Amino acid sequence: MDGQDVTGLMQQIGARARAAAAELAFAEPEAKRQALLAAADAVLVRQEEILAANAEDLAFGTAKGLSPAMMDRLKLDAGRIGGVVEGLRAVAAQKDPVGEVIAEWDRPSGLHIRRVRTPLGVVGVIYESRPNVTADAGALCLKSGNAVILRGGSESFHTSTAIHACLQDGLRSAGLPEDAIQLVPTRDRAAVAEMLRMVEFIDVIVPRGGKGLVGLVQAEARVPVFAHLEGICHVYADGDADLEKARRVVLNAKTRRTGICGAAECLLIDRAFLAKHGPVLIEDLLKAGVEVRAEGELAQVPGTVPAQPDDFGREFLDMIIAATVVDGVDGAIAHIRRYGSSHTESILTENDATAGRFFQRLDSAILMRNASTQFADGGEFGMGAEIGIATGKMHARGPVGAEQLTSFKYLVEGDGTIRP
């Protein structure tokens, strides 16, 4: 498909999405719920078809020489298909955000004002190899009354197409427009460039994938973007930390899963903590098999590796952590301001004033106390599902669920009320 064709195709997809969005904005909550439940049923019924499509993608991936990690992300099995079905049902069970009265008040003029939740319009989702994003993102956008244009990775093309067919089954059975959830039907990369510029048809772009993809989208998009480029999450062990809580949290924050954006990448140890407890946190990490890239006094702990300057502010996504000593909470705040990515940071302390200072003076999307950074997740926050995590300050921040895919409007009622 040449460039000209892709432009025309994407314009058509955009116009259809815009038309579907106008209808979806006032779709009955029950219709959206039924569409999601029917889509879940369709995934179960068409399971063999989806697995066959996935086998085709896997063969393509093998031929292309994809890394084992990418092949694993791409691969579906009965268990993962069960996860897709559960995800669709969980979003179906969520409260419908559209029409919710966020605030209401009366004015001396006699006006009654309500602020009511509305969909954003059309969401564009650009993702890489994980085919389950097709279902998750499609479901969240439908729940929030938005039309969505999905652009999956070329590696998962057949699997995404098969899952998308199930979502369309769901829409049809509930009498909702099929254009509510569209999948870009070409692997041509020019489609991505088109989406980033379609300001008249797309209200927000959500990129899901590695730093390469997100960086490209953030640099090139004329459409607003909800995203985080990196999750450089810090854990700070304060002098007033409880030792056992600190040991537990540090280990979990680094090692539970190293490949997610909420994994800790840097440990900051208060000089007072070190004086009291010694390098026990470092030793725990080493014992767990973590490579500790340490600076200053910590570099003298046997088994550590000397940190290079660029190990701070670096997202390892691996069994590696940077570590340094800081002078109290203000030292930690200064370090995080310099090296953080505004994603998630955690303070370990029993001191309320110190925790308050950390909470007040840092402005990451998520700040934690005595808790593992691995909780940075829409599901763990109780949002049911997330379309991504945003670190920008405009509109959406932190885990982006159905509610944050909405805007609002004001409904104002008078009784022949005029302004003096």
Among residues 398, 400, 401, 402, which is the contact residue for its own copies, using CB under 8 A? Answer: 398
CB of 200 to its own copies, least distance (A): 13
Complex with its own copies: residue 48 or 415, whichever CB lies closer: 415
φ, ψ of residue 398 in degrees (nearest 5):
70, -155
Binding marks (x or -) toward its own copies, 228..257, rule CB under 8 A? --------------x-xxx-xx-xxx--x-
Rule CB under 8 A: choose which of 84, 120, 150, 307 binds its own copies.
120
Question: What is the contact mask toward its own copies in residues 24 to 43, using x (rule: CB under 8 A)?
Answer: -xx-----------------
The Cα–Cα gap between 163 and 135 comes to 7
Taking CB under 8 A as the rule, does residue 409 contact its own copies?
A: yes
DSSP letters, 293-324, are EE-GGGGGSTT-EEPPGGGTT----SSEEEEE
Structural contact between residues 152 and 118, judged by C-beta atoms closer than 8 angstroms: no
**Among the listed residues 88, 91, 204, 385, the single contact to its own copies using CB under 8 A:** 204
- Cβ-in-10-Å burial (0-12, 13-18, 19+) of 320 comes to middle
- Residue 115: Cβ-neighbour burial (10 angstroms; 0-12, 13-18, 19+): middle
Q: How far is the CB of 64 from its own copies (least distance, A)?
A: 34
Q: Which of residues 352-371 bind its own copies (CB under 8 A)?
A: 355, 359-361, 363-371
| By CB under 8 A, residue 203 contacts its own copies | yes
Min separation Cβ 92 and its own copies, Å: 21
Give the span between the Cα atoms of 60 and 47, in whole angstroms.
Answer: 20
3-state SS string for 207-246: EECCHHHHHHHHHHCCCCECCCCCCCEEEEECCCCCHHHH
Which lies closer to its own copies via its Cβ, residue 60 or residue 359?
359
Measured CA distances, 417 to 2, 110, 111, 354 (Å) = 58, 7, 7, 52
Q: Interface with its own copies by CB under 8 A: which residues?
A: 22, 25-26, 99, 105, 107, 109, 111, 113, 118, 120-121, 203-204, 224, 242, 244-246, 248-249, 251-253, 256, 337, 355, 359-361, 363-372, 374-375, 380-382, 393-395, 397-398, 407-419
